[in-house]
Amino acid sequence: MLRIWGRLTSVNVQKVVWCADELGLRYERIDAGRDFGLVDTPEYRARNPNGLVPVIEDDGFVLWESNAIVRYLAARHGEGTLWPTDISMRADADRWMDWQATSFNPAIGPAFWQLIRTAPGKRDVAVIEAARDSGEQQLALLDAHLATHDFVAGPSFTMGDIPLGCSVDRWYKLPLAREAHPHVERWYAALRGRKGARQVVELGLA
């Protein structure tokens, strides 16, 4: 059976859990990381030398890097749905997964760390404000794209929506003043209604 290591409060673990739930896979999730520890044990490091979550094992095949895991599960179990058979559509899904990891998540990350993982007296308002502005700029770009696309890679939900769905979910849960992005809001509402998203959208930030 598929095994997933990682605490659910990690945005990168959320991607994998959401993907597995979308695909209706049976899996065991083992809490690891932060307060759960485990990531520094030799057994864990043998699976993921980075000592980070998530990592999966699937019939003896071990894989780390959350977006690579989402691609692997989608390719293995979601051909024609999460894994588009059309190469251009698949590249589009890939592109938005990379954009989540290299642009959107780094933009909003400092706001999350300040507001959720830093004690109130130690927070830096300037860092929060800069991350908010940067997140808004990135969301305006996504909003313009979603004005003409139902989902990030086209007319149907694909693997490309999952990493961004996790990050945007985090963004909307942060206690921040936000601007209106109607197309992102429409897309996020559609994602929230999916059975596969349940574990992620029902979770508070921690």
Ligand X SMILES: N[C@@H](CCC(=O)N[C@@H](CS)C(=O)NCC(=O)O)C(=O)O
Q: Which is nearer to ligand X, 104 or 146 (CB)?
A: 104
Binding site for ligand X (CB under 6 A): 10-12, 33-34, 39, 52-54, 65-67
* 167/173 Cα distance (integer angstroms): 10
Instruction: Quote the least distance from Cβ 12 to ligand X, whole Å.
Output: 4
* 119/193 Cα distance (integer angstroms): 33
Instruction: Quote the least distance from Cβ 114 to ligand X, whole Å.
Output: 16
Instruction: Quote the least distance from Cβ 55 to ligand X, whole Å.
Output: 8
Q: Which is nearer to ligand X, 29 or 181 (CB)?
A: 29
Given the DSSP bridges, would you call strands 27-30 and 55-58 parallel, antiparallel or unpaired?
unpaired
Instruction: Quote the least distance from Cβ 147 to ligand X, whole Å.
Output: 28
Q: Which is nearer to ligand X, 4 or 128 (CB)?
A: 4
Q: Name 28's Cβ contacts closer than 8 Å, sequence gap at least 6.
A: 1, 2, 3, 4
Q: Which is nearer to ligand X, 10 or 134 (CB)?
A: 10
> Which position's Cβ is nearest ligand X?
33
* 196/15 Cα distance (integer angstroms): 10
> Can you tell me whether residue 16 is helix, strand or coil?
helix
